[in-house]
Amino acid sequence: MTANPESKIKVSTPSDREVVTERAFDAPRTLVFDAHTKPDLVKRWLLGPPGWSMPVCEIDLRVGGKLRYVWQNDADGTSFGMTGVYKEIVAAERIVHTEFFSDNWTGGEALITTVFAKKAGKTTVTITMLFASKEARDGAVATGMTDGMESSYRMLEDVLRSTAAA
Amino acid sequence: MTPAERLDATFAALADPTRRAILARLASGEASVSELAEPFAMSQPAISKHLKVLERAGLIVSGRDAQRRPRKIDAAPLAEAAGWIERYREIWEANYQRLDALLDEMKRAGAGKKRKTKE
């Protein structure tokens, strides 16, 4: 399988409180939807950085139904979890749900809208993450998914320390 | 401002020793314009000019106290400058490559079933 540059994910921040990702998949919408909503399938790919597994994946796919994910670091056994509630479900088209992370990175609940669309023979998945505030948005994506915030604070500390020393 | 323009503004804002010193002061808590001007042999209007540059870059925000209007540091543009979006994209691309492989498996399984029912 050759790498297809068109298949790379697009990430944007259309407003202070949002992150939007978009990615095309070479598969019908029903399969892509199943991969996002059946626990045995979700566990196979929604894993984050290397070294993490997903020991818990519970999905009650109906309006008002709950979802619960727990990820675990294989090396040191630390884990963190996410819970949420489904608000809207249109099979193979659209899911809206809330998310709340165990360390409260999201500064309260985030509202996640996932749209599955047919585009040029492929399925495009667009996810809009709406956070409670700008700080929550910045904190969640930087801290929750990456160590970006930590490294940016370290960078700031270095700059400020050298400024103070000057 | 596009993300690229914001990045430019962030680096331009940081490329000045007075502005970096202002950020250093704000890192330990919010401060008013007069409080910020104090350590510098600089007039308040001169300090205000620096504050405007920092505000435009999104590195500081004004507080709601109408009289004092204290400034607060905002680390998000720094996180962006440090490339958090890139890291986020990498992690999600890794997730999605696993999903690509899973979808291929699911398509093959589906095609296999069709062949069986045709026989």
**Residue A103 pLDDT greater than 90, yes or no:** no
Q: What is the mean pLDDT of residues A24-35?
A: 94
Rounded to a whole number of angstroms, the distance between the first and last alpha carbons of chain B is: 61
Q: Which residue of A has its CA nearest to B99?
A: A45
CB contact under 8 Å between A152 and B20, yes or no, is no
CA distance B44 to B57: 20
Chains A, B: CB contacts under 8 A, how many? 116
Residue-level pLDDT at A25: 93
CA distance A22 to A39: 22
Residue-level pLDDT at B114: 72
B20 touches chain A (CB under 8 A): yes
B78 touches chain A (CB under 8 A): yes
Q: Which own/partner pairs from B38-46 qualify as long-range (CB within 8 Å, at least 24 positions apart)?
A: B42/B18
Q: In this predicted model, what pLDDT tens digit does every residue of B19-32 receive, in sequence order?
A: 888 887 887 678 88
Identify the residue with better confidence: B26 or A68: A68
Q: Which of B91, B105, B113 to mutate to test the interface with A (most CBs of A within 10 A)?
A: B91
A141 touches chain B (CB under 8 A): yes
- What is the distance in angstroms between the Cα of B1 and the nearest Cα belonging to chain A? 10
- Of A76, A79, A37, nearest in space to A58 by CA: A37
Would strands A122-130 and A110-119 be described as parallel, antiparallel, or unpaired? antiparallel
- What is the distance in angstroms between the Cα of B80 and the nearest Cα belonging to chain A? 8
Residues in A touching B3 (Cβ below 8 Å): 12-13
Highest mean pLDDT of the ranges A116-120, A154-158, B39-43: A116-120
Residue-level pLDDT at A144: 45
Q: Please give the ipTM for the structure prediction.
A: 0.76
Residues in A touching B18 (Cβ below 8 Å): none
A150 touches chain B (CB under 8 A): no
**Residue A147 pLDDT greater than 50, yes or no:** no
Q: What is the mean pLDDT of residues A126-139?
A: 83
CB contact under 8 Å between A44 and B102, yes or no, is yes
Q: Contact B9/B1 with Cβ under 8 angstroms?
A: yes
Neighbouring CB atoms inside 10 A of B116's CB total: 8
Q: What is the DSSP letter of A140?
A: I
Residue-level pLDDT at A141: 58
CB contact under 8 Å between B103 and A26, yes or no, is yes
Q: What percentage of chain B carries pLDDT values higher than 90? A: 18
| C-alpha pair distances (Å), A19 with each of A54, A148, B96 | 23, 15, 17
Rounded to a whole number of angstroms, the distance between the first and last alpha carbons of chain A is: 54
Q: What is the DSSP letter of A87?
A: E
Q: Which of B106, B107, B108, B114 to mutate to test the interface with A (most CBs of A within 10 A)?
A: B106
CA distance A19 to A139: 12
Please state which of the ranges A7-16, A45-54, B66-75, B91-100 shows the lowest mean pLDDT: B66-75
Residue-level pLDDT at A3: 43
